[in-house]
Amino acid sequence: MATINKILVPFANSPSAIGALKTAISISKLLNSKLYIIHVVTSLSESNIIDQIREVCNSENMQFTFIERSGQIHKEIIKVEVELSIDLIVMGAYGVSGWQQLWVGSNAFKVVSTSHCPVLTLQGDVSSFVGFSKIMLPLDDSEETRQKINHVKLFAKAFDTDVLIFNVSKVMKVESRVKLAKYAHQVEELLSKEGIKTTFDESYGNNVAEDCIKFAQMHKCDLITIMTETENTNSFFMGTYAQQLVSTSTIPVLTIHSRSVTKLQSLA
């Protein structure tokens, strides 16, 4: 079973970052995790960053450890992640214009791609976050796809949510459907044993990222879980559909690396 004992929030003055901090606070309270907040000083940094953080955390009666670094944003975030053995990074991200492109265009992707732990990215202003009510668990025909299950179980139980098992593939081959049907049945059984309710849907032959977003909206999911599709720890590359989801989904995305989880023997 996955555990989240330490959460790291990269913070800059933006609605997205404030929303990410509030989200991290909610998760931290539910999982009894320690909260760490990092600000990497840049020419765009404001002098009252720590005051903004205190205001949010004090309003939620949340203790935190503040870390200030200077240097390249994504590198300093990853350094702290490794130094503190962080279990989850929660960060805001903008997919449109504005100076916050600094966080999304390069740094968000680099953090997601090179982190050793899962990363939860949130688009836009999510300052009104109240929790997750339904989680999408996409299953594709990759060998790594089911490795998401432990983190899905953790979040589903913490927030008392249902899970949408979503079989999805860009191909329409019969063998792919048969394989995914087997995956879905195995996952449904595992979640059912944990008392987690599931629903099911599927789509084939289309753009995977677009289908995930479309069906997540259709089923009113408010968290999508994905794998990065890369195991190269030095690479800034993520799989095409992972990149597209992180950059375009208005629904929060939890991105998990194959290297950060152990394959489930019961699903082998």
pLDDT means over runs of 10, the chain (268 residues): 91 82 93 96 80 94 96 93 97 56 61 91 72 93 83 94 95 91 95 96 93 96 85 52 83 82 42
Cα distances (Å, whole numbers) of residue 1 to 25, 194, 233, 255: 21, 11, 23, 17
Domain annotation covers residue 212: yes
Of 97, 123, 149, which marks where a domain is finished?
123
139 and 258 housed in the same domain: yes
Dist CA 150 CA 196 (whole Å):
12
The pLDDT, as a whole number, for residue 238 is 64
The pLDDT, as a whole number, for residue 68 is 95
Domain annotation covers residue 11: yes
Domain annotation covers residue 128: no
147 and 39 housed in the same domain: no
Number of domains in the chain: 2
Q: What is the 3-state secondary structure (H, E, C) of 111-124?
A: HHHHCCCCEEEEEC
Whose CA is closest to 236, among 97, 72, 7, 34? Answer: 72
Asked whether the beta carbons of 77 and 66 are under 8 A apart, the reply is no
262 and 189 housed in the same domain: yes
Domain annotation covers residue 185: yes
87 and 140 housed in the same domain: no
13 and 48 housed in the same domain: yes
142 and 42 housed in the same domain: no
CATH of the domain at 233: 3.40.50.620
164 and 247 housed in the same domain: yes
Q: At what angle do helices 15-31 and 49-59 cross, to 10 degrees?
A: 40
Dist CA 144 CA 163 (whole Å):
19
Domain annotation covers residue 227: yes
The pLDDT, as a whole number, for residue 260 is 56
Domain annotation covers residue 101: yes
238 and 218 housed in the same domain: yes
The upper half-sphere exposure of residue 155, i.e. CA atoms within 13 Å in the direction of its Cβ, equals 27
Q: Note the pTM of the prediction, 2 decimals.
A: 0.89
Region class of 259: left (phi > 0), else alpha (psi between -120 and 50), else beta: alpha
14 and 72 housed in the same domain: yes
Of 59, 92, 123, which marks where a domain is finished?
123
138 and 249 housed in the same domain: yes
Of 72, 103, 123, which marks where a domain is finished?
123
Range of the domain at 235: 134-267
